[in-house]
Structure 1
Amino acid sequence: RPLCLGVGGGGLTLALVVIGGSAVELQGNAYNGLLIAINPQVPEDEKIIPNIKEMITEASFYLFNATKRRVYFSNITILIPATWKTNNYGKPKQESYEKADVIVAAPYWKHGNDPYTLQYGECGEKGTYIHFTPKFLLKDRLIDIYGSRGRVFVHEWAHLRWGVFDEYDSERPFYISGQNQVKATRCSSDLTGIYVCEEKICAQGNCVINHVTGLFKEGCKFIHDKSQNASSSIMYMPSLSSVVEFCDASNHNTEAPNLQNKMCSYKSTWDTIMSSADFKSNFPMIGTSLPPPPIFSLLQSQDRVICLVLDVSSIALLGNTCRIGKTYIYAKS
């Protein structure tokens, strides 16, 4: 997100985009400063803000239990675009869309309505932001596909905050285990289900082995049992009601060909999370009481005019660069 300055025939034009960075701080056991911003191009809908609040509130308690009473969400800011009608909202100070940890914006073509986290770093490195679409927040029928919004948020938060990766792999849904058996790529391997083929190549719905690869042919799927005993993992499928934990060293599936194993040298998600700076001096809350629900602040962006005043008493033109005092400005005619 660069700082762009230009000089044209009509005078000086300034376009400024501040390089963002998460302001979320862990204070005690509470995350404070989480910024959620709605894109100005998102049509106004009265359900979006209440659904965001409901999602984060559910996520806070789910995260608290998943981290064994270590962390929860406390103070949350929702930034409402200037394109929406005004209300008794607060005014932003340093908050802006570019600095948001979570954005609500139109689908990106590659992901559709799938929630995702922009994650460029290596294992353990923080991501850039979480992206939710308006449809994901508004259409309750999508809950049957993705699971509850709060659970999905915790899955994405683990990507963003702790730099862990998915334990499924749609490109490699199966692998051959050390016992020379075809298994579904998952964590933990205790999750039960059946292998079903929905294609015509399969006889009576049974999956067929490709004798070249040793894996199931295309069309085979692993369908999870609705009733499960396995409690992990959130980075595999938080939509399963029994899943309330991250995979740890005791149940991590090191054979699965997924990104978590590839990027984190076969280290479990929980071990990766516990290696983060958040937990170096953080301890579980004592007692059995739940943390307080999150507190939300609603701010609304406003259109602003930025005036740039320059002292032009000392100007020098060096090629395409204009020097004003000690400031260098790229000049384009």
Structure 2
Amino acid sequence: NIFILFVYIFISEVMSVGSMIVFKLQGNGYDGLLVAINPRVPEDQKLLANIKEMITEASFYLFNATQRRVYFQNIKILIPATWKANGYGKPQHESYEKAEVIVAAPYWKHGDEPYTLQYGECGNVGKYIHFTPNFLVNDYLIDVYGSRGRVFVHEWAHLRWGVFDEYNNEKPFYITGQNQVKVTRCTSDLAGIYVCEKKSCTEGNCVINQLTGLFKEGCAFIPERTQTAKSSIMYMQSLSSVSIITEK
């Protein structure tokens, strides 16, 4: 019974400022999570269906990733007033500005990549998760980011627990105590290959910078799609072996 996700849909009358909506943990289930669709998003029933499907999948994944501790019990979806009513209820205190998850046009910095707005330090809750309509309805993006349910749990960890990604695009490599160059990743047992795509390469191989001891710019670590080593959801949620949330 724990995986029956109850979805309540409300049609927004105005983008009013309501009282703060706070999701709660009731027993082991998150209750009252609010997903709001921006008023400028055109009506799309596939979008609505995929939101439900995404969070249903996320509930299973979160339950397993937290060693059967928590899941999503019910959510509320706030849709634009321009959409057909279809028997949806009217909001009480729910508003777009108070949503934990928003569906809106891309922000220029991120494009269709999902992200969580985080102001604070590690451990501080985030402000909201942002998905684009394109991410939610176009399946080709699943090949890029992984399944939507897994992506949701990755972003949820940012929002709820204030954790950060366990990779570093600015410093993708480090030197071990044995003076070996390794890629920044969790876990170090993940298999993959080093690929160089820029002029610093020698016959396609990554080259060491003699000053830093690290690979020169243009070298990247490409993990194998199929893995056996268990890894954290905050590394690359698209990998098959990513199935745990690292404990504090």
TM-score, normalised via structure 2 length: 0.90
| SS, match of residue 182 in structure 2 | strand
1:97-124: CA deviations, max 9, x gaps? 0110000001111111110001111221
Larger Rg: 1
Code of the residue aligned with 2:144 in structure 1: it is: I
1:122 maps to a residue whose letter is E
1:95 aligned residue: 94
Distance 1:188 1:229, change over 3 A: same
Please say if residues 119 and 128 of structure 1, whose CA atoms lie closer than 8 Å, have aligned partners that are also in contact: yes
Shift of 1:20: 6.3
Tell me the residue number matched to 1:35: 34
Residue equivalent to 1:129: 128
SS in 2 for 1:205: coil
* CA spacing shift, 1:159–1:20, aligned 2, 3 Å: farther
Aligned partner of 2:88: which letter? Y
The match for 1:184 is 183
**Are the aligned partners of 2:186 and 2:231 in contact in 1 as well (CA < 8 Å)?**
yes
Question: Root-mean-square deviation (CA), in Å?
Answer: 1.5
Q: Which runs of 5 or more structure 1 residues have no equivalent in the other structure?
A: 1-15, 248-269, 272-333
Which structure 2 residues correspond to residues 143-162 of structure 1 after superposition, within 5 A?
A: 143-162=142-161
Asked if the contact 1:192–1:225 (Cα under 8 Å) also holds between the matched residues in 2, the reply is: yes
- Hey, what's the Cα distance between the residues in 2 that align with 1:136 and 1:150? 12
Q: CA deviation at 1:17?
A: 6.1
- Residues 276-297 of structure 1: CA deviation (Å, up to 9, x unaligned): xxxxxxxxxxxxxxxxxxxxxx
Aligned-pair distance for 1:22? Answer: 4.5
* Native 8 Å contact 2:17 2:95 kept in 1: no
Instruction: Give the match for residue 174 of structure 1.
Output: 173
1:10-48, Cα deviation, whole Å (9 max, x unpaired): xxxxxx963764410001001000000000011222210
Q: Distance in 1 between matches of 2:180 and 2:20?
A: 46
Task: Point out the more displaced range, 208-217 or 154-163.
Answer: 208-217
How far did residue 85 of structure 1 move? 2.5
Post-superposition, which runs of at least 4 consecutive aligned residues in structure 1 deviate over 3 A? 16-22
Q: Deviations over 1:171-204 (max 9, x none)?
A: 1111112221111111111111111112243122
Separation in structure 2 between the aligned mates of residue 22 and residue 112 of structure 1, nearest angstrom = 28
Gaps of 5+ in 2: 1-14
**2:242 is matched with which residue?**
243
Residues 1:21 and 1:239: Cα distance change in structure 2 (over 3 Å): farther
Q: How does 1:208-223 map to 2 (within 5 A)?
A: 208-223=207-222
Query: Secondary structure of the equivalent of 2:73?
Result: strand
Whether contact under 8 Å (1:56, 1:150) holds in the other structure is: yes
Q: How does 1:64-143 map to 2 (within 5 A)?
A: 64-143=63-142
**In structure 2, do the counterparts of structure 1 residues 175 and 73 end up closer, same or farther at CA, with 3 Å as the change threshold?**
same
Query: What residue number does 1:198 align with?
Result: 197
Tell me how far apart the structure 2 counterparts of residues 17 and 89 of structure 1 sit (CA, whole Å): 18
Matched AA of 1:234: I
Aligned-pair CA distance for 1:159: 0.6
Identity score, percent: 74
